[in-house]
Amino acid sequence: MHISLPERSQTPLTDDQRRSFQQFIAALSPEQAAWVGGYLTGLVAKDSTFIPEIGGIADITILVGSQTGNSEALAEQTHRLAAGRGLKTVVKKMGDYKFQQLKAEKNLLVIVSTYGEGEPPDNAKELVEYLFSKRAPSLKQVQFAVLGLGDSSYEFFCKTAVDLDRRLEELGATRIHPRVDCDVDYESSAEAWMHGVLNELSILLETKPQAIGLSIPSLTSPSFYSRKNPFSALLLENIVLNGRGSLKETHHLELSLEGSGLTYEPGDVLGVYPANAPEVIDALLQTLHFDGTEWIALNDKDGFLYDLLFSHYEITTITRPVMQKYALLANNRKLDQLLRNKHKLNDYLHGREIIDLVADFPSEHLSPQAFVDCLRKLPPRLYSIASSLKQHPDEVHITVAAVRYHSHSRDRKGVGSTFLAERITEDATIPVYIDRNSNFKLPADPATPIIMIGPGTGIAPFRAFVEEREAMDAPGKNWLFFGGQHFETDFLYQAEWLRFLKNGVLTRMNVAFSRDQEQKIYVQHLMAEHGKELYAWLQEGAHIYVCGDEKRMAHDVHAALLNIVAAETGADSAEEYVANLQKTKRYQRDVY
């Protein structure tokens, strides 16, 4: 196989690197080259736009439903790996998919996330509803496989993928590969699914690997830093935004990206790899009767127990898989009974952590190796980016609320938030990467009005939005709704918002401080109060954005939006109006 690299002047490689790389790829088979190309592209895929539909007739449709962009990145990777095997694919977002196309599908790969309480992504809701309706067609001609993304700390882990996998089979489709449900550390599981599915399809479609699989353009990407290879970002500033006496502790952090080549857009997310707090590790070791010097063997690295608990394993959040693995070791009848009772299990999980599990259900013969084998990897924490790269070159800003609370006789603390708030000093470095979110973006036309709703730390991406529009001198109107507890202490970025109002970048701003009066007032109440004006903005073509708590705030804001539209158009058409806003990407949410 012969692949020519670009000239030295066109690549970031040194002459020695270029020669070594040329020798390396010359020894690869076509399939190996395709795999390497997919792997390298996967490292930087989030720096690229979404793969368009390829020309010609596709052998396979990759149908993707994504809330934050991870499923889309995996769809891109699957597309590239398939191309290396000679398989023609088309990638389609569920929100853009025409339902009648289902009847024409032959091979269907579904990659979908689940968020909140088992809900499908916003752009997948209509398709999911259609598939579960009486109008869903027979799919006996379809061969399919499903990949799910989720978080096993939630009760309804990967529920959307589970539901779709079952429903496609009910509609007559033939499963060609078992469904895989990926947790927050999804890379290896997802890649195994991709290779398994593509192996099956290569046999079924009798294709041969292609010799053009290696994607050289990925080698000239400005940055090789990614989720798998984070950049060590220098902390420039850590400022507490709340005033004295506040019950909240919200930090504004500024990090340097100088030398990384990393770029981002407003709406994107910063992934941060935290470390566990030493006092939390010490308490857990004491409860387990370990001293931390035990040597642990892992597939990818070996090390002392303490070091691995510090930076490699999740040691606070209890997930059901962790409990099930631990139960097999503990041989505890009460724990077995708890796992069989869904209602009692949910009650137990609320407010408890792994230290409670091992204290409440001790295992006499538990070894350090067996214990860590129960745990999942420490996942990165994701924070909405609160800055515009145009305004702050080589920097990224985030807004972080320190989480501390007391439950079941123990003090608790958020892993990522207190890592950033308490244990990172200026001039220290933090492992970070950029997580693209194509589903939370400013309108392409800078003249389009926008409405932003973000109480608490939900304000973060809207600081980025407004900074970006100021830098672009965008003519579009900007309306911001913000909420906090107290005006005096919790008006995050107050001076900046006043400046934006004064210079006209921010057209209007409405604020709700829930504890400053006897009756609590929230952002949804302000929306209702200004419902006619809000609807008028929508009629002008405004895009509406919501960021923050999914369980309460986002639901209340959605209900308020429906009521506002119903008051103007009638209750019967409100649901359709709002659904159309979502379908046309004029209503976007970044909720957690």
Per-residue model confidence as pLDDT tens digits over 61-108: 999 998 888 899 999 999 999 999 999 999 999 998 999 999 999 999
Please name the residue ranges forming H helices in 383-432: 415-422
Mean pLDDT of 520-531: 97
Token pair in block for residue 375: 């745990």
**Per-residue confidence band for 425, with pLDDT thresholds at 50, 70 and 90:** confident
Number of Cβ within 10 Å of residue 26's Cβ equals 11
The whole-angstrom separation of Cα 445 and Cα 540 is 13
Instruction: Specify which residues 548 forms β-bridges with.
Output: 591
Q: What share of the chain is helix, strand, coil (3-state, %, to 5)?
A: 40, 20, 40
DSSP tag of 45: G
Task: Give the pLDDT of residue 115.
Answer: 84
Whether 420 contacts 255, CB under 8 Å: no
Ramachandran region, residue 10 (left: φ > 0; alpha: ψ -120 to 50; beta: rest)? alpha
- Say which amino acid occupies 293: T
Task: Give the pLDDT of residue 49.
Answer: 36
Whether 436 contacts 527, CB under 8 Å: no
Whether 354 contacts 318, CB under 8 Å: yes
Task: Give the pLDDT of residue 44.
Answer: 42
| Three-state DSSP state, 551 | helix
Instruction: Specify which residues 450 forms β-bridges with.
Output: 478, 543
Token pair in block for residue 150: 């989720």
| Three-state DSSP state, 86 | coil
| Phi, psi of 385, deg, nearest 5 | -75, 135
- Say which amino acid occupies 255: L
Mean pLDDT of 489-514: 98
Task: Give the pLDDT of residue 33.
Answer: 55
Query: Which element (helix H / strand E) includes 522?
Result: none
261 CB contacts (<8 Å, ≥6 apart)?
Answer: 221, 222, 223, 224, 225
Distance from CA of residue 356 to its chain's centroid?
A: 28
Count Cβ neighbours within 10 Å for each residue of 356-381 and write b for 16 or more, e otherwise. Answer: bbbbebebeebebeebbebbbebbbb
The whole-angstrom separation of Cα 580 and Cα 518 is 38
Token pair in block for residue 310: 């510090």
Token pair in block for residue 550: 């999914």
Q: In the chain, what are the domains? A: 8-211 (3.40.50.360), 231-273+380-435 (2.40.30.10), 278-374 (1.20.990.10), 450-591 (3.40.50.80)
Per-residue model confidence as pLDDT tens digits over 279-334: 999 999 999 999 999 999 987 778 999 999 999 999 999 999 999 999 999 989 99
Task: Give the pLDDT of residue 163.
Answer: 97
**Per-residue confidence band for 4, with pLDDT thresholds at 50, 70 and 90:** very low
Per-residue model confidence as pLDDT tens digits over 173-229: 999 999 999 998 898 899 999 999 999 999 988 866 654 444 433 333 456 899 989
Nearest to 112 by CA among 162, 66, 77, 175: 66
